[in-house]
Amino acid sequence: MKKLIKLLRLLLPLIAAALTVITYYVIPDSGKQKPTEHPYFVYTVAAAAAVYIILGIISAFNKNLKKYIFEQAPFITGTVLFLMILNVVTTKTELLPILYFPSPDKVTGILIEQRVSLLQNLGSSLGLLVTGFAAGGSVGFLTGLALGYNKKVGYWLNPVTKFIGPIPTTAWIPLALSVFPTTQGANIFLIAFAVWFPVTLMTSSGIQSTSQVHFEVSSTLGASTLYRIIHVAIPNAMPSIFLGIFYGTVSSFATLMAVEMNGNSSGIGWYINWQKQVMMYDGVYAGLIIIAFLCTLILTVLFKVRDRVLIWQKGVIKW
Amino acid sequence: MVGSISIDSVRKEFKSADGSGETLTALNDFTLDIEPGTFVSLIGPSGCGKSTLLRMIGGLDRPTSGKITLNGKEITKPGSDRGFAFQGSNLFPWLTVEQNIAFGLKARGIFKERKKDVQEFIDMIGLNGFEKSYPHQISGGMNQRASLARALVGHPEVLLLDEPLGALDAFTRMNLQDEILRIWKEFGMTMIMVTHDVDEAIYMSDKVVVMSARPSKVEAVIDIDLPRPRARSQDTFQVYRSRILDILNLGGQVEEPEYSI
């Protein structure tokens, strides 16, 4: 009996997928949404169901995966049911304004039909983000290190940092666009700036929080100044630095969208804005979905790196 | 024999912390010679500058005047010839026990040749099986052991102990006292220990240096003439203890009855 309930829980997502496909074909369309060339939504649900089944088979040999799937099954079911209702509401009835709420068929259709150009835009966004992030992050780290470690540098640069840093990145856009010879340069600068400030602030605060005793311990053990910075101050600042990188990452996403929607001619932000201008809201949604995936992926990678680097804090970090 | 310390009329002043610009004199005209390989305890009222003296021997602070020498050479900065075990364990929380102990060897660039010393000290201090643990995962006593091993692994000529066992419970404390004595016997370095515990000082030391209140100088140097190993409950302990407490004016008095028979 218990086994049967467990099995049922695992089958729930597939039942929901079947229901979704049935409602798709059985309930007649309202006819207001422009039909797509192919039933893309059905393809998507079927593909997801196929992935679920494959993972289910693999999980027979992998305990962790099995546990994960068992835990997530109700959530997956809920998500599929939500999509089913969304489809009913948008294509089968006229409950929501059709212009702003395109059918799942159309949104998934865009993702599939325009995949090449979407990928190109994604690549352009990603390139901009990575370049800006690397520049801002490394300059921020070095500034924070200097500010936190050296009192004289701190005296001169701290007020400057605290005065300039809080300026919202978007406020720099007009100036950056006119000062930099290329838009690309301005964009990189703006994203770098968004990352620079929180990384500087948190690095400096982490370095300053290094305990005097740890410095003394290391000097009695024969460590040089450079060795102490690298092996005592920086590891001590790491949790704080990661917090800075996290804030910086989030604000770099916002800046990326802002610069791409202002005078850019590529990137997901530009794509969303363009689709809005031509009243193609299905494209807007497709763009939003891609952005969501991109940002989630980057944050997931960041958290994985953090867990690896800060393994000594296991059980202590709560974010 | 190396590891002889000579403290020659040292004076140490501090700027008072209340910002009044006044100076506090922690030590004044402090003179003491410590022979190589002896175990010396520094004891005295709190705030008398015991830790300050230890820090100056460690090279973490400089005397205002006078000088301190190790093997005849003036001490101006920390060096790996002197090991320092601080109050509390102060292991680096981001390093495992093993990495903490290896820190000094790595910092000095001699880790490769001396790699097996790390394991040797882990064995000696009884931390086998905890090499890969992080400090927050092991007990306070183990932290203290690891921190001792970290100070010892470079084979210093002098080991400076700043109330290393202060924060531990009584049993762990006694255990570690014996460990420290065993290590001292094995390596024969000079030991200088700051402590608040008169019994600890008597149990462990060759000489107990009693320091006066601020501005502090040597009040008395008491040789503990007891054979080793010592028993904690020895009768003669009592004699040394009352002598030290009397010097510190902490001996107390038994109230005399007012009537007589």
Instruction: Grade residue A19 by pLDDT with cuts at 50, 70 and 90.
Output: very high
- pLDDT for the residue A316: 62
- pLDDT for the residue B114: 87
Q: Is A222–B80 a contact, with Cβ atoms under 8 angstroms apart?
A: yes
**Chain B residues closer than 8 Å to A229 by CB:** none
What rounded mean pLDDT belongs to chain A? 91
- The predicted-structure confidence for A109-118, as pLDDT tens digits, reads as follows 999 999 999 9
Task: Tell me the three state secondary structure of residue B13.
Answer: strand
Q: Is B93–A312 a contact, with Cβ atoms under 8 angstroms apart?
A: yes
pLDDT > 90 fraction of chain A, expressed in percent and rounded: 72
Give the one of A214, A222, A313 whose C-beta lies nearest to B108's C-beta: A222
Instruction: Grade residue A314 by pLDDT with cuts at 50, 70 and 90.
Output: confident
Q: Which helix (H) or strand (E) holds A139?
A: helix A115-149
State which residue of chain B sits closest to A220, comparing Cα positions: B78
**Chain B residues closer than 8 Å to A216 by CB:** 60, 78, 84, 86
Q: Is A308 on the interface with B (CB under 8 A)?
A: no
Give the one of A217, A218, A235 whose C-beta lies nearest to B94's C-beta: A235
Compute the half-sphere exposure of residue A184: CA atoms within 13 Å on the CB side of its CA.
8
pLDDT > 90 fraction of chain B, expressed in percent and rounded: 15
**Chain A residues closer than 8 Å to B104 by CB:** 221-223
With contact defined as beta carbons under 8 Å apart, do A287 and A280 qualify? Answer: no
Give the one of B79, B82, B107 whose C-beta lies nearest to A227's C-beta: B107
Instruction: Grade residue A234 by pLDDT with cuts at 50, 70 and 90.
Output: very high
Q: Is A218–B107 a contact, with Cβ atoms under 8 angstroms apart?
A: yes
The answer to whether residue B197 scores a pLDDT higher than 70 is yes
- The predicted-structure confidence for B225-254, as pLDDT tens digits, reads as follows 888 888 877 788 888 888 888 888 776 666
A27: left (phi over 0), alpha (psi -120 to 50) or beta: beta
The answer to whether residue B157 scores a pLDDT higher than 60 is yes
Instruction: Grade residue B258 by pLDDT with cuts at 50, 70 and 90.
Output: low
- pLDDT for the residue B253: 67
More confident residue, B209 or A319: B209
- pLDDT for the residue B102: 93
- pLDDT for the residue A315: 66
- Of A11, A6, A3, A19, the C-alpha closest to A76 is A11
- Residue B205, token pair as written in the block: 């030391």
The span from the CA of B259 to the CA of B261, in Å, is 7
- The predicted-structure confidence for A21-38, as pLDDT tens digits, reads as follows 999 999 888 877 778 888
User: Average of pLDDT values for A158-178?
Assistant: 90
Contacts of residue B207, Cβ cutoff 8 Å, sequence gap at least 6: B38, B39, B40, B41, B221, B222, B223, B224
The values of phi and psi at residue A221, to 5°, are -90, 5
Instruction: Grade residue B159 by pLDDT with cuts at 50, 70 and 90.
Output: very high
Instruction: Grade residue B140 by pLDDT with cuts at 50, 70 and 90.
Output: confident
- pLDDT for the residue A44: 93
The answer to whether residue B255 scores a pLDDT higher than 70 is no
Q: Mean pLDDT lowest for which of A51-55, A206-210, A228-232, B224-228?
A: B224-228
Instruction: Grade residue B261 by pLDDT with cuts at 50, 70 and 90.
Output: low
- pLDDT for the residue A94: 79
Give the one of B82, B88, B95 whose C-beta lies nearest to A220's C-beta: B82
The span from the CA of B83 to the CA of B89, in Å, is 14
With contact defined as beta carbons under 8 Å apart, do B11 and B183 qualify? Answer: no
- pLDDT for the residue A256: 93
- Of A165, A221, A235, the C-alpha closest to A193 is A165
State which residue of chain B sits closest to A224, comparing Cα positions: B107
Q: How far is B107 from chain A (nearest CA, A)?
A: 5
- pLDDT for the residue B20: 73
**Chain A residues closer than 8 Å to B154 by CB:** 221-222
The span from the CA of B114 to the CA of B110, in Å, is 6
For chain A, the domains span: 2-104, 115-313
Q: Is B171 on the interface with A (CB under 8 A)?
A: no
The span from the CA of B255 to the CA of A243, in Å, is 64
With 0-12 CB in 10 A as exposed, 13-18 as middle and 19+ as buried, what is A97?
exposed
Q: How far is A308 from chain B (nearest CA, A)?
A: 12
How far apart, in Å, are the Cα atoms of A35 and each of A45, A86, A216, B12, B189?
18, 16, 73, 89, 89
Give the one of B77, B90, B134 whose C-beta lies nearest to A217's C-beta: B90
- Tokens 């008169």 found at: B198
- pLDDT for the residue B46: 80
Q: Is A227 on the interface with B (CB under 8 A)?
A: yes
Q: How far is A307 from chain B (nearest CA, A)?
A: 13
> Which of A1-15, A239-253, B116-130 has maximum average pLDDT?
A239-253
Q: Is B37 on the interface with A (CB under 8 A)?
A: no
User: Average of pLDDT values for A263-288?
Assistant: 91
Q: Is B45 on the interface with A (CB under 8 A)?
A: no
More confident residue, A136 or B202: A136
- Specify the CATH architecture of the domain B5-81+156-247: 3-Layer(aba) Sandwich (3.40)
- pLDDT for the residue A318: 59
Sheet arrangement for strand B73-74: B23-34, B5-15, B65-70, B73-74
**Residue of B81, B103, B161 to mutate for A, most A C-beta atoms under 10 A:** B103
The answer to whether residue B44 scores a pLDDT higher than 80 is yes
- Residue A288, token pair as written in the block: 């939003």
Amino acid letter, A149: Y
Beta bridge partners of B10: B30
Superfamily designation of domain A115-313: MetI-like (1.10.3720.10)
User: Average of pLDDT values for B11-32?
Assistant: 82
- pLDDT for the residue A18: 94
